[in-house]
């Protein structure tokens, strides 16, 4: 194995696909956890060394729970043309089917979709076999972000296409049944990198940070930090004609890879939260992603939670760092998407450099308190996926699902945690048949009507 950091340690790819049944469970799985946890990440085939972490082929890992049992684990490569070596750029332009499909996996309208922001989504079966590229029956003619947002009230799926060439940004909305796709270009957008975004009850929110298109970057991901590109927040009103009323607001230089949530407060201001980095910490992360010198030991450093409050009436944005803990991969109870949330979860790096013990953190935004759950030396948790309890009355009544990579035992386990109190020992641990490499994003897909 090469010395590339994204091919070593917790990120070491697995060489094959396996299926295992009737997994060992320590503790008691809540019977209401009936469905599938699916996670996606970059896992190049043996012998292949991509020039950038994000260029590795996607592999989806699934864990099936039912009635207090862990029925199966399986992992499958997403079989796109890129898996077999097809180039993304051709003489006719980008091939939107030549996707790594390795960033995220979601369900919408009964379809399981593996996502990569530079290409079309790929549909998978319930047991993770690849069906093929999905383009909304020919209506989607551009790439799809890896971070779509489903409105918990309307059931609509919001997503976007970002490009270094005009049109720089297109906002899409899919109907709850996945049959209608509406698309509109966002005026005023630039070639800046847009990885995530947010929705509120009445708006769509885009962040353009200090990272923009750079054709001199030859890793296969042509973006780099720029001290001359302004950082901005774009606010697009939802509904017919909203794109024409898009407004852009200047913010301090920086970059936010992921957002926790956004909402409108009682004064009509738009509040956005997520981890953000400055120039030096962006470069450290980028060096890790490409295997350059001074790459550190993990792909995160100095990423702290920031709150941006957009005041449309005053025409300005206020910014504050809300905590000094280094975090990434923020999550919430998705029932609060676009509405004010009290609780927020993330993967934490208590040493501030990503090189020491890892942890999960829960924030109470109302009290300002936090709970940190260390997972132990040599162990790395995945992002915490929130699953509501069946009789949930409180926002944090439910479970956190995280897959922990353990280098000490060369193994992995699925931890089921009480989301209301991280000091409680895990409710259950599902022993997986192999060490699952550190994945990026994933979803809980419950059985039956949602």
Phi, psi of 388 (to 5 degrees): -70, 145
The mean pLDDT of 360-364, rounded to a whole number, is 98
Separation of CA 99 from chain center: 17
The mean pLDDT of 105-132, rounded to a whole number, is 97
Give the model's pLDDT for residue 293: 75
Closest CA to 55 of 140, 119, 1, 112: 119
Indicate the SS3 state at residue 83: helix
**How big is the CA angle at 121 (ends 117 and 127), to the nearest 5 degrees?**
130
Domains observed in the chain: 5-446 (2.120.10.30)
Strands across the sheet containing 19-23 = 19-23, 69-77, 58-66, 35-42, 441-446
Give the model's pLDDT for residue 241: 85
Distance CA 354, CA 360 (A): 13
The mean pLDDT of 32-44, rounded to a whole number, is 97
Distance CA 260, CA 331 (A): 6
Closest CA to 326 of 348, 345, 346: 348
User: 10 Å Cβ neighbour count for 12?
Assistant: 17
The 10s digit of each residue's pLDDT in 282-341 is 999 999 999 987 645 455 558 999 999 999 999 999 999 999 999 999 999 999 999 999
Return the structure tokens found at 239.
């509904």
Return the structure tokens found at 108.
């919408």
- The yes-or-no verdict on residue 143 having pLDDT over 50 is yes
- The yes-or-no verdict on residue 406 having pLDDT over 60 is yes
Distance CA 6, CA 340 (A): 36
% pLDDT > 70, the chain: 96
Report the chain's C-alpha Rg in angstroms.
20
The mean pLDDT of 214-234, rounded to a whole number, is 94
Indicate the SS3 state at residue 234: strand
- The yes-or-no verdict on residue 89 having pLDDT over 90 is no
Give the model's pLDDT for residue 2: 55
Is the separation of the CB atoms in 255 and 211 below 8 Å? yes
Distance CA 291, CA 83 (A): 21
Residue scoring higher pLDDT (272 or 241): 272
**Average pLDDT score over the chain:** 94
Any idea what DSSP says for residue 6?
G
Indicate the SS3 state at residue 77: strand
* Residue 172 half-sphere exposure toward CB, CA atoms < 13 A: 24
Which class for 181: exposed (0-12), middle (13-18), buried (19 or more C-beta within 10 A)?
A: middle
Give the model's pLDDT for residue 85: 85
Give the model's pLDDT for residue 449: 55
User: 10 Å Cβ neighbour count for 143?
Assistant: 22
Place of tokens 């509406």: 182
How would residue 153 be classed by pLDDT, with cut points 50, 70 and 90? very high
Give the model's pLDDT for residue 240: 82
Q: Which residues contact 98 (CB under 8 A, 6 or more apart)?
A: 80, 81, 82, 86, 87, 88, 119
- The yes-or-no verdict on residue 95 having pLDDT over 70 is yes
Query: Alpha helix locations (H) across 12-107?
Result: none
- The yes-or-no verdict on residue 394 having pLDDT over 50 is yes
Give the model's pLDDT for residue 446: 96
Residue scoring higher pLDDT (31 or 350): 31
- The yes-or-no verdict on residue 1 having pLDDT over 50 is no
Closest CA to 243 of 168, 337, 316: 168
**pTM to 2 decimals?**
0.95
How would residue 87 be classed by pLDDT, with cut points 50, 70 and 90? confident
Is the separation of the CB atoms in 189 and 206 below 8 Å? yes
Q: Which residues contact 450 (CB under 8 A, 6 or more apart)?
A: none
Length in residues, the chain: 450
The 10s digit of each residue's pLDDT in 177-220 is 999 999 999 999 999 999 999 999 999 999 999 999 999 998 98
The 10s digit of each residue's pLDDT in 253-274 is 999 999 999 999 999 999 999 9
Distance CA 26, CA 247 (A): 52
Return the structure tokens found at 436.
């699952």
Which class for 49: exposed (0-12), middle (13-18), buried (19 or more C-beta within 10 A)?
A: middle
User: 10 Å Cβ neighbour count for 279?
Assistant: 15
């Amino acid at each position: 194995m090469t010395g590339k950091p994204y091919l070593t340690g917790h990120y070491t790819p697995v060489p094959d696909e396996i299926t295992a049944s009737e997994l060992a469970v320590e503790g008691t799985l809540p019977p209401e956890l009936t469905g599938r946890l699916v996670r996606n990440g970059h896992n190049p085939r043996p012998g292949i060394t991509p020039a950038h972490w994000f260029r590795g082929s996607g592999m989806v890992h699934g864990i099936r729970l039912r009635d207090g049992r862990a029925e199966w684990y399986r992992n499958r490569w997403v079989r796109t043309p890129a898996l077999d070596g097809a180039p993304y750029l051709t003489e006719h332009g980008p091939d939107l089917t030549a996707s790594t499909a390795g960033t995220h996996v979601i369900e919408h309208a009964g379809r399981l979709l593996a996502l990569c922001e530079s290409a079309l989504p790929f549909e998978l079966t319930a047991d993770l076999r690849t069906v093929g590229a999905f383009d909304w029956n020919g209506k989607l003619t551009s790439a799809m972000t890896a971070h779509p947002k489903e409105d918990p009230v309307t059931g609509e799926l919001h997503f976007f296409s970002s490009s270094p060439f005009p049109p720089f940004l297109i906002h899409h909305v899919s109907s709850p049944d996945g049959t209608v796709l509406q698309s509109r270009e966002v005026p005023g957008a630039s070639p800046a990198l847009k990885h995530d975004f947010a929705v509120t009850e009445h708006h769509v929110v885009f962040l353009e940070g200090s990272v923009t298109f750079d054709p001199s970057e030859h890793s296969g991901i042509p973006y780099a930090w720029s001290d001359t590109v302004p950082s901005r927040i774009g606010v697009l009103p939802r509904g017919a004609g909203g794109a024409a009323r898009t407004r852009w607001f200047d913010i301090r230089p920086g970059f936010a890879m992921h957002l926790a949530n956004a909402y409108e407060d009682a004064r009509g201001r738009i509040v956005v939260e997520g981890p953000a980095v400055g120039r030096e910490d962006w470069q450290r992360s980028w060096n890790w992603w490409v295997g350059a010198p001074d790459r550190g030991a993990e792909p995160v450093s100095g990423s702290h939670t920031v709150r941006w409050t957009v005041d449309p009436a005053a025409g300005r944005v206020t910014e504050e760092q809300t905590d000094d803990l280094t975090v990434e991969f923020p999550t919430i109870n998705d029932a609060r998407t676009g509405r004010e949330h009290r609780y927020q979860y993330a993967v934490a790096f208590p040493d501030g450099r990503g090189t020491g013990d890892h942890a999960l953190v829960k924030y109470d935004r109302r009290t300002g308190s936090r709970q940190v759950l260390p997972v132990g030396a040599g162990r790395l948790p995945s992002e915490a996926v929130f699953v509501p309890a069946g009789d949930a009355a409180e926002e944090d009544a439910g479970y956190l699902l995280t897959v922990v990579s353990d280098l000490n035992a060369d193994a992995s386990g699925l931890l089921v945690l009480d989301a209301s109190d991280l000091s409680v020992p895990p409710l259950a641990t599902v022993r997986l048949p192999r060490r699952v490499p550190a994945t990026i994003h994933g979803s809980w897909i419950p059985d039956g009507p949602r």
